[in-house]
Structure 1
């Protein structure tokens, strides 16, 4: 007797969804349809991949089908129960069950019913990969008292990443960053926990100090995790809630901008770069997702945004890294932001692509057609973003490339008129700490810099008189021209990338309205050899 026959005896009319979930493991179903276990990728959370579709999934609670859920690797929007697993793959893995004329849930149940009808021996074979899956280890919830956390030391790892003490002490970050002390017992040749050092204070321990960033889930003021960083350390403390929590800076009385970045060090770097450009305003909140992005972290971020007082024209600034992953994170935030105006549903896609089903209802017609036109223009004769018509629905498949992902994100924001509320800001280099590092390194090569009112670097140099001559040339070029409105600043580069203005020229409608020079710079010109 098959499992289907057993269930039909108990439920002659319709098998309840909880029973279907309890009797069809995602792992079993995946194996039956060609997925292969990747044993080296995870044991407590096994990873399976379909070689034909390039679809890699991660399983949580592998031993308990009633609690079992999956997530597609690298795409938190493709996740959920066995029902979601099938729904998101009706156009690929389970395409033979995809009958557009029928209700979607009927197609899904056809997949489940057919699996329940297979021979019990085949079911046993499908379960064999589970024998290689280790038992889930119960992770103790994070308890701050188990860690030696102290006020941040004056000399710390952040300084070596070019983060200035002034930035750490800014109102955004003051009291938000700590030191964490780790212990190594040389007599036992192993690391030991803080509680062990308190029980055995007579032992001599080797101490290592990390920078610690606390993480919060937006539901309470309790710390639910710690991100630990040092030259050789990049991890989260044991028990940290990485799924739901984020690092968050101190909020101002009214928030103008919410910046979301991949790391807390990037957040500090971004704030310091703003200071270097002369922006000292305390008007923003910074979030870090700790080098990843989950659906829950997106919701936590929006929970915080909703809780703060904001100016009328506040905006969310997505400041993830300048790479494909960063652009994918942008799109996942955009998808959440536009969900009420244009809900797009994630579906499974080929390897290194992500796919969405566009809403079919008439009220979404304008945005849908506008997006398709922008995709057509982007493709420009070569198919980069795939568009498929399946029954009455339209599906798009986007390659995991920066250009394609950026185009879709920006198009969705423009078409839903949310481009004023959500901004996408990328660093010049890979991330904002790399941008900051570049600024600091430039200071070692060139003592002085001339920038215009937009912040664009016009000249670098080391000789005061030569730099002054360049400023004079800029003045002479703009003077007397009615159409000229320019401002030039010659600054000295200081440690940590900061700038100290030495000479300033402001030209309005061809007239010099301000020209200043510090006494210190005048003296340097006189003494220059």
Structure 2
């Protein structure tokens, strides 16, 4: 029992972030958040460290090898090729606070992790391996131009996975919390992830906020009605309480600036229900409008219909 208790102490009392830094890993501040710390070493190894809220164990995921994951014990065994007895000897000085530190902790490096779930950390670990895109055939087929994809408003909001799927990350107040996957005849959401909001880049002088049900609708709306002062949110379907809370905060900030909220959800019962919910959570003083496609179901279909009309007109002129 005491030996098992010692293993549990290794996993709970030793900050894996500190241990990794003591073994040559450096903090990647741009990729890290309060509940997920990213570190890398000079040999190309890159890990994400979290604190499990269910058992208070520190854990890690490798960002270069999806089978490399676990506790501080797994971390040591896979990098130093030690047996369990040797791992105990390695970590006992850390429990007794008499180890020799090889790195200097500064205020920026001594980060106290906020407990999170392993599922969310796994989603973030997967997301770290995705690449930003500058074009995608699936998006082009849906009428989204390369210029729209590369517009500064959407730069860094669309990614590509190893299967060439288009990835649309959802974010909450802590960062990436899930992602939507789209391709030909395929639509899915990350296993273990939760819906936040897909968001475009924001600008200091933005005075409009357009809310659609899908990122494709946001991109289509922008291409149909380009505006340098408009920000875009996508909910990926019906609203959760978490999404309402995020949107309520965004609405309040925009209302303080005197901006407009544009509800551009689908022309169906679901879109109308979302519109009513958005209106209810908006400040009473908000300038809020509902824009509905006249003939098509959503703005993606509107864009495709416009492109088809322009193609037919061009063919007529050619003839």
TM-score over 0.5 for the alignment? yes
Greater percentage in strand: 1
Instruction: State the partner residue of 1:248.
Output: 199
- Is the contact between residue 255 and residue 284 of structure 1 (CA under 8 Å) also seen in structure 2? yes
Change over 3 Å in CA distance of 1:336–1:267 after alignment to 2:
same
Instruction: State the partner residue of 1:320.
Output: 265
Count of residues in Structure 1 that have an aligned counterpart in Structure 2: 200
Residues 339-374 of structure 1 show CA distances to partners (whole Å, capped at 9, x for unaligned) of xx6xxxxxxxxxxxxxxxxxxxxxxxxxxxxxxxxx
- Is the contact between residue 134 and residue 146 of structure 2 (CA under 8 Å) also seen in structure 1? no
Paired with 1:257 and 1:306, the residues of 2 have a C-alpha distance of 13
Does structure 1 residue 282 correspond to structure 2 residue 208? no
Does structure 1 residue 209 correspond to structure 2 residue 76? no
Instruction: State the partner residue of 2:25.
Output: none
Change over 3 Å in CA distance of 1:139–1:234 after alignment to 2:
farther
Instruction: State the partner residue of 2:176.
Output: 223
Unmatched segments (≥5 aa) in structure 2: 1-116
Does structure 1 residue 447 correspond to structure 2 residue 314? yes
Paired with 1:433 and 1:213, the residues of 2 have a C-alpha distance of 16
Instruction: Classify the secondary structure of the residue corresponding to 1:215.
Output: strand
Paired with 1:153 and 1:257, the residues of 2 have a C-alpha distance of 25
Alpha-carbon distance, 1:284 to partner: 1.0
Instruction: State the partner residue of 1:177.
Output: 158
Map of 1:129-528 to 2, 5 A cutoff?
A: 140-143=119-122, 144-147=124-127, 148-152=129-133, 154-181=135-162, 208-217=163-172, 219-220=173-174, 222-242=175-195, 245-275=196-226, 281-307=227-253, 312-337=257-282, 418=285, 421-428=287-294, 429-447=296-314, 462=317
- Is the contact between residue 142 and residue 225 of structure 1 (CA under 8 Å) also seen in structure 2? no
Instruction: Classify the secondary structure of the residue corresponding to 2:297.
Output: coil
Paired with 1:317 and 1:441, the residues of 2 have a C-alpha distance of 26
Q: Please tell me the root mean square deviation across aligned C-alpha atoms, in Å.
A: 2.4
Alpha-carbon distance, 1:154 to partner: 3.2
Residues 99-157 of structure 1 show CA distances to partners (whole Å, capped at 9, x for unaligned) of xxxxxxxxxxxxxxxxxxxxxxxxxxxxxxxxxxxxxxx98224322353112153432
Highest RCO, 1 vs 2 (Cα 8 Å, sep ≥ 6) = 2
The structure number with the bigger radius of gyration is: 1
Instruction: Classify the secondary structure of the residue corresponding to 1:330.
Output: helix
Paired with 2:119 and 2:257, the residues of 1 have a C-alpha distance of 43
TM superposition score normalised by structure 1: 0.36
Unmatched segments (≥5 aa) in structure 1: 1-137, 182-207, 276-280, 342-417, 449-460, 464-528
Paired with 1:253 and 1:274, the residues of 2 have a C-alpha distance of 20
TM superposition score normalised by structure 2: 0.58
Alpha-carbon distance, 1:233 to partner: 2.0
Change over 3 Å in CA distance of 1:292–1:142 after alignment to 2:
farther
- Is the contact between residue 156 and residue 211 of structure 1 (CA under 8 Å) also seen in structure 2? no
Residues 54-101 of structure 1 show CA distances to partners (whole Å, capped at 9, x for unaligned) of xxxxxxxxxxxxxxxxxxxxxxxxxxxxxxxxxxxxxxxxxxxxxxxx
Change over 3 Å in CA distance of 1:444–1:299 after alignment to 2:
same
Paired with 1:300 and 1:426, the residues of 2 have a C-alpha distance of 23
Alpha-carbon distance, 1:441 to partner: 0.7
- Is the contact between residue 178 and residue 189 of structure 2 (CA under 8 Å) also seen in structure 1? yes
Alpha-carbon distance, 1:333 to partner: 1.1
